[in-house]
Structure formats: C-alpha cells, structure tokens
Structure 1
Amino acid sequence: MNATLIAVALSLVSAAAYASAAVAQARLAGRTEPDAGVLRLLGRGAWWSAVGLNAGGALLHVAALKYGPLTLVQPLGALTLVAAVPLGARTAGRRVTRIEWRGTILTLLGLGALLITAGGTAPHETLSLPEALAVGATTMAVVAGLSRPGTRPGLRHAAASGITSGVASALTQTLTVSVTHHTGPLLSRRLVIVALLVSAFAMGGLLLSQTAYRGGLGAPLAVVTLANPVAAAAIGLALLGERLQGGTISLVPALLGTVAAVRGVILLSHAQAQALAVTDPAATDPKSVAGSPSRVVIGSRGPVDRPMLRPEPGRTPVGGP
C-alpha cells in the first residue's frame, strides 16, 4: 500500500480516537462536581476509557509520522474537531447546527486541497543534533516572547501551545524515522537530547493550553488547532526536505485550501464554545475554567498532551498533529 494512503488512514483513525476521547471526557466532566478530586476520577471506568482512546490516538499519530511527511500528517489533526461534531451532537441529544455543517464542509474541502499538494513520499530525513538544538532554542525564544505580559494572553498562550505541540511532533518524527530506519544507536546523544526536547515541549504545550482557555474557549481553541500544523510544516519544509507536489504552481491550491480550512476550524471552534455555553454555562466562566481541570476538558483539544486536560487535534504524539 502507498505510504501516503497509510499515513492518511492512520491519521483518520487517530482523529476519530481523539474525538471519541474528547466526547467521553466532556460527558464525564458534565457528570462530575467541579470540586471533585483526581482520585475520584481514577475510580471511574469512563475516565480510563478516555485515557485509552487518547493513548491509542497518540500511538496512531506517531505511526502516521513514520509514513507521511509533516505537511501531510499535521493538518489532518483538524479532523478531530470535524469528527467531534456529530459525536458531540449525538451525545447531547441535539442536531448538528448549520454553523457546524459549514465549518465541517470548509475544513474538509481545505484539507482535501492540502492533501493534493502535500508531499507524498515517506519521510527519510531527520534533524541533526545542531538542527534539533536550533529548533529547540528558537521555539523557546518564541514561546518566551508570546508568554510575556500584555494584551490577549489567551490567544498568545494558545499560539505558544500550538507551536510547542507542532515542534514536538516534528521532533518525534526524527525519533521515529531514526529508530525504524536504524540510522544510529538507540541511545545516541542525539536521540536522547531529541527525546528530552519532545518531553519538554509536550509538557509545555499542556501547561500553556490550560492557561490559554482561562479567558474563553472558541478563539484559543482555533489558534491551537491552526498553530500546530503551521509550526510542524515549517520545520518539514525548511529542514527535512519536504516539498509540495507540483512545484510553485501548487502554492495556489495549497493557499486556498489553507484559507478554507482555517475558516472551517474557526467556525467549528466557536460552535463548540457556544454549545458548551448552552449545556454548561458555568464552564464558560473564566474562574470556573481556571479552577477546574474537569471543565477544561470539555472545550479543549491537543496532539501529544491530550489526556484529561485537553483533547488537541493535532498533532502532538504523546497526548498530539
């Protein structure tokens, strides 16, 4: 089977797993008292089911990174939002709204255009140690700048969260390709340092996402979803030799697809925030969101750092696109 088809199939199943986990976590959060402790959640089978779905989604995402380039795999993380729409509506006993349909269609059309232009070969290049360190230092500098006190902290923290998650995915691909292609010893200094960077950025994305959602869910959720693939794709195009199919002319459908997907993600994010406000008004209160992790789960999303705190489309692999 073609490597591109394998990557797309794995990404689709990964997004479905993340979306199912998000819905399960949302239902659990709705039935849990705001002041309930973590130990109480540990005794519930629904919570462990969500953890298992998140773990499965993360493993599938890592596998997809072995077969597909970052420019292909990371944007597909937005499918988590798309899959969550019918699942969430069915769970809540309501119909999918017109805005949700518009967001879904635009996101699918945009991703379809990106799939046509994305590189189709399996990844084979990896980051060298100097490149990995440069990526890490640049990412930390950008995050430090976005985390400085100022206006719109929620959106800036959301952008920082998406960037760190996307970088974690790019670094994870280096680990995956190096291990599976046997390009060096498993405990080489390069792979150990890259693994440490993955862990640091995954945890950083998790913490940044939680602070991002304190002032609201819709706009920060959209920023996280979009910043993730942008950061990963930038590394893939600049350092890993990834190219768009069709040369320069392919930039036109790629840009059009990006615009459509961006608009679709924004619509879906706002629709989810509105649905949350209707079903649980307290969850949209900044004090409630900041003080209760079980509330954050309902409107959150993420790739590697998904379990419990934020189900995120994408893209980072240890909890995620």
Structure 2
Amino acid sequence: MRATLFAVLLSLASAAGYALAAVAQSRLAAGSPGPGALRALLARPLWWWAVGLNAAGALTHVAALHYGPLTLVQPLGALTLVAALPVAAAYERRRVTRSEWRGALWTLTGLVALVAMTGPATPGDALDLPEALAVAAATALLIAALVGRNGTAVRGRGLGHATASGIASGVASALTQTVTASVARELPGGPMTGWQTALLALLVSVFATGGLLLSQAAFRGGLAAPLAVVNLANPAAAAVIGVALLGETFRAGPVGWLVAAAGAATAARGVILLTSGHPAPAPAPRVPEPDADPVTA
C-alpha cells in the first residue's frame, strides 16, 4: 500500500514537472523569432529551467515505475495537460476557458483508455540491434516528413512538430529499454557488444534531444493542443513498436482493440477542442542585447 501511494505521489510530481517545463517552453516559443533561433534560445535561463524540469519529470517518472505498475503510472502521467492549463493561464493572467477544460477532459479520457488497454512487455522483451536500427531509421524518415510539411497555419505546423516530438520520445523510450536490457544481460540472444550498446545509447540521446527541441518548436502554435498531441503520440508510438515487434497486444482481445480505437478518437476530439479554444501564449519578457548578432530563422 505504501509503495502504491509513493508511486502516485511520484507520478503527480512528474506530471507537475513536465507541466511547468511545457509552460516555460510555451512562453519562450511565443517570443522566439523562428526555428533557427537555437543560439538565442540556449542563452535564455528559462530554457535551461525547462530542460531541468523535463529531466526531473523523467527521473521521477522512472522512480514511480519502480514503486508502482505501468497501468497506474502511465495514466497519471497524462495529468500533465490538466496541470499545465491553469499554470499557463495564471502566467497569462486569464482564466482557463470552458473549451480548454472540455478539450483536456476528452484528451485525458482517451489517453487513459489507450494506455490502459496496452499490455506491458514481459521482462527481457526488447528490440534486438537490427530491429532497433530499423525503428530508428523509419522514425527519422517519419519525423522528417512531419517537420518538412509546408503548412500555412502556425497551429497546423505546431501539431506536426508535436506529433514528431511525441514519436521521438516514444522511440527513445523503446531504445532505452533495449540498452537497459543489454546492460542487465536480459536481452534475448544475449547482451550486445560495447560499441553496439554505445551506438544505441547515442541514438537514445539524439531522439530524446530531438523530442525536446521539436516540442519547443510545436509550442509556437500554443500550449494546450501541442502538449495534448505530444502526450498522445508518445504512448501511441511505444504501443505500435510493442505490438509490431515485441509481441504485445491490447488487453481483452478484440474488445481491447475497440476500446483503444475509441480512446484514440476521443483524444483526437479533445485535441480539436484545444486547438480551437486556446489563445496564443504570452511571450516571455526579453532583455535587449544591443551588441548581439541577429538570429535568422
């Protein structure tokens, strides 16, 4: 009982960390001149606070999984969206709109249904090296397609970047599982060599960093809808990998597939509400730098 309570508390702390990081990224994105402003972004202390909060959220999420089951921890992680809405509204000195609350509720309900129907892998189930490299290559192509689309609306481009961010983070988690299984000598077929493990660890870093930067770009179109898409695409990507390559399946057989499909449709309805009901974020205040070189997009 104590372990379960500790897992719940850690999950809530993780959601709060991710929510605060998302709000900080949203404020930075609103004042960012464009996707090429990485140098200016790295000079902002608020950006590094966001990076630290994301890291803290990830660590507390891993700790929560140590004390509680995946079926409890993952749905609680979806509370990031619910926590981010009032925090962002407080920064912008406004109230959360009724449409935002409805959209968050729809998205949260759909995400919980989707995660609850996904069966966790058994210990030792992880991608082998060829599978991991194939997933990494396919993901890179998919992200390039999502980011390279020529959209006319900032919000539309933001949802594309958010989808790419969630997929990148989900794949990073799957690759991390492979690296961990190899180090623990639980990988089917035996552990990989040192250079193979190092290669996958490098890919984990690339996808994790890419997911963070893509989410930063996504928040130029607002906070709520991109954050909802990131939270939906992440477990969806992990579920696709699990079902296609690790032999996982949805619980309750065909009924589980129907519930998962209904959950995805419900979450999509929530994203639509959030897209139409969320105002543009207020930019973070900037201190002028008279001698700084201009940053081009």
Q: TM-score, normalised by structure 2?
A: 0.70
Aligned to 2:204: 198
Count residues with an aligned counterpart: 277
Aligned to 2:89: 89
Q: For structure 2, which runs of at least 5 residues remain unmatched after alignment?
A: 287-294
2-side partners of 1:4 and 1:119: how far apart?
A: 19
CA-to-partner distance for each residue in 1:32-84, whole Å, 9 max, x for gaps? 99899568644xxx766544322210212344567766x98767654322211
Give the secondary structure class of the aligned counterpart of 2:173: helix
Cα shift at 1:24 = 5.0
Do the aligned partners of 1:76 and 1:111 also contact (CA within 8 Å) in 2?
no
Aligned to 1:306: none
1-side partners of 2:227 and 2:210: how far apart?
A: 16
2:167 to 147, 153, 163: 163
2-side partners of 1:234 and 1:7: how far apart?
A: 26
1-side partners of 2:127 and 2:245: how far apart?
A: 7
Further displaced range: 73-82 or 156-165: 73-82
Further displaced range: 17-26 or 134-143: 17-26
Query: Relative to structure 1, is the Cα distance of residues 37 and 73 closer, same or farther in structure 2, using a 3 angstrom cutoff?
Result: same
**Structural mapping, 1:204-219, within 5 Å:** 204-212=210-218, 216-217=221-222
Q: Which amino acid aligns with 1:127?
A: L
Cα shift at 1:179 = 4.1
Cα shift at 1:189 = 3.5
Aligned to 1:55: 55
1-side partners of 2:296 and 2:273: how far apart?
A: 26
2-side partners of 1:2 and 1:191: how far apart?
A: 36
Q: Which amino acid aligns with 2:170?
A: G
Do the aligned partners of 1:74 and 1:232 also contact (CA within 8 Å) in 2?
no
Aligned to 2:125: 125
1-side partners of 2:168 and 2:52: how far apart?
A: 23
Give the secondary structure class of the aligned counterpart of 2:126: coil
Question: 1:174 and 2:178 equivalent?
Answer: yes
Do the aligned partners of 2:111 and 2:263 also contact (CA within 8 Å) in 1?
yes
Aligned to 1:311: none
1-side partners of 2:48 and 2:118: how far apart?
A: 36
Query: Relative to structure 1, is the Cα distance of residues 220 and 93 closer, same or farther in structure 2, using a 3 angstrom cutoff?
Result: closer
Cα shift at 1:23 = 3.5
Q: Which amino acid aligns with 2:243?
A: L
Aligned to 1:298: none
Cα shift at 1:235 = 0.6
Do the aligned partners of 2:118 and 2:239 also contact (CA within 8 Å) in 1?
no
Query: Relative to structure 1, is the Cα distance of residues 140 and 39 closer, same or farther in structure 2, using a 3 angstrom cutoff?
Result: closer
Q: State the percentage of identical aligned residues.
A: 56
2-side partners of 1:250 and 1:54: how far apart?
A: 32
Cα shift at 1:257 = 1.9
Q: CA RMSD in A?
A: 4.3
Do the aligned partners of 1:18 and 1:57 also contact (CA within 8 Å) in 2?
yes
Do the aligned partners of 1:4 and 1:121 also contact (CA within 8 Å) in 2?
no
2-side partners of 1:186 and 1:4: how far apart?
A: 34
Cα shift at 1:230 = 2.0
Cα shift at 1:248 = 1.7
Query: Relative to structure 1, is the Cα distance of residues 121 and 240 closer, same or farther in structure 2, using a 3 angstrom cutoff?
Result: closer
Query: Relative to structure 1, is the Cα distance of residues 247 and 58 closer, same or farther in structure 2, using a 3 angstrom cutoff?
Result: same
Query: Relative to structure 1, is the Cα distance of residues 199 and 217 closer, same or farther in structure 2, using a 3 angstrom cutoff?
Result: same
Do the aligned partners of 1:19 and 1:84 also contact (CA within 8 Å) in 2?
yes
2:265 to 259, 264, 270: 259
Q: TM-score, normalised by structure 1?
A: 0.66
Do the aligned partners of 2:26 and 2:219 also contact (CA within 8 Å) in 1?
no
Do the aligned partners of 1:16 and 1:83 also contact (CA within 8 Å) in 2?
yes
Q: Which amino acid aligns with 2:19?
A: A
